[in-house]
Structure 1
Amino acid sequence: MTSRRTAVREILSRSDGFRSAQDIYAQLRADGAKIGLTTVYRTLQALVESGQVDVLRTDDGECVYRACATGTHHHHLVCRNCGRTVEVAGPDVERWTEAVGAEHGFTAITHTMEIFGTCASCAAVASAG
């Protein structure tokens, strides 16, 4: 792993939730790294492809990243308010995507799925206010 990948992975491993490439770039620059934004994007893509980093697209279309907590395929349940994220398995989703692909003659099916909602803590605060 290159020093750039190590630096980006380190930023993500210290973060609680998902971070944008811009946030990661700003943190690296604040830490004194001589790295360009394009390099950060390329590094993130390589880390995603190797399964070391999760990526999801937010409601407004931005890609955000975090260190992957598990090495197996999974989905995310994300709080729209605080950003809390839970990794979840989806065996029914897996079967459905394979069936839909097969029905239309597709093979080597891949997919991503993020479910957005409000976590229990944020819902409790909202109902108390």
Structure 2
Amino acid sequence: MSGADQQEGTGRRPSRQRSAVLALLDDLDGFSSAQDLHALLRERGDPVGLATVYRALQALVDDGQVDVLRGADGEAAYRRCSLVHHHHLVCRSCGTTVEVADPPVERWARQIAAEHGFADVQHQVEVFGTCRACTTAGPAEG
């Protein structure tokens, strides 16, 4: 297998399904569930199955091309990843997400790992709150 037959840096062959999921994520803003992505792919005429969407998303997450965010309810949501390591600030009400690059968090993670004898440390930080627009709007009626 030549290098051209593999996704850059992953050692795995690109698949039509992964390419379709990645192209869809490139067209979207914000995070989307696997079910929503599956429905959008079907609307576009792609007959991909839901299990295949989950497998494609997991491969893209493993390759660092897609961010995964678990909400308070445990549901995973996915978004095209920026190229720099970052964290997320997420509105609990509307789901607005802001990427935050924070060197102090990086230093803290390295320090706490070293204090406890850990190496090859990775971390993921999501901070949940209420965005300005939702705070200004007040409690939702319902």
Q: TM-score with structure 2 length normalisation?
A: 0.82
Instruction: Give the match's secondary structure for 1:16.
Output: coil
**Helix, strand or coil: the match of 2:88?**
strand
Give the unaligned 5+ runs of structure 1.
none
Give, in whole Å, the separation in 1 of the partners of 2:71 and 2:95: 10
The 5 A counterparts of 1:104-123 are: 104-123=116-135
Determine the C-alpha separation between the residues in 1 that align with 2:95 and 2:28.
12
Q: Relative contact order (C-alpha < 8 Å, sep 6+): which is higher?
A: 1
CA–CA distance in structure 2, aligned partners of residues 89 and 16 of structure 1:
19
Cα-Cα RMSD: 1.6
Hey, what does 1:9 align to over in structure 2? 22
1:27 aligns with 2:28: no
What's 2:70 paired with?
Answer: 57
Deviation at 1:55, TM superposition (A): 0.9
Say which is worse superposed, 73-82 or 20-29, in terms of deviation: 20-29
Q: CA–CA distance in 2 between the matches of 1:91 and 1:41?
A: 32
Larger Rg: 2
Which of 14, 37, 47 lines up with 2:50 in the alignment? 37
Residue identity over aligned pairs, in percent, reads 56
Q: Corresponding residue for 2:3?
A: none
Shift of 1:49: 2.0
2:102 is aligned, of 90, 100, 104, to 90
Amino acid at match of 1:10: A
Deviates more, 1:106-115 or 1:45-54: 45-54
Q: Aligned AA for 1:4?
A: Q
1:48 corresponds in structure 2 to: 61
Which of these residues, 89, 98, 108, is aligned with residue 77 of structure 1?
89
Long gaps (5+) in structure 2: 1-13
The one-letter code of the counterpart of 2:137 is V
Q: Deviations over 1:26-67 (max 9, x none)?
A: 221222222222211111111112222111111111110011
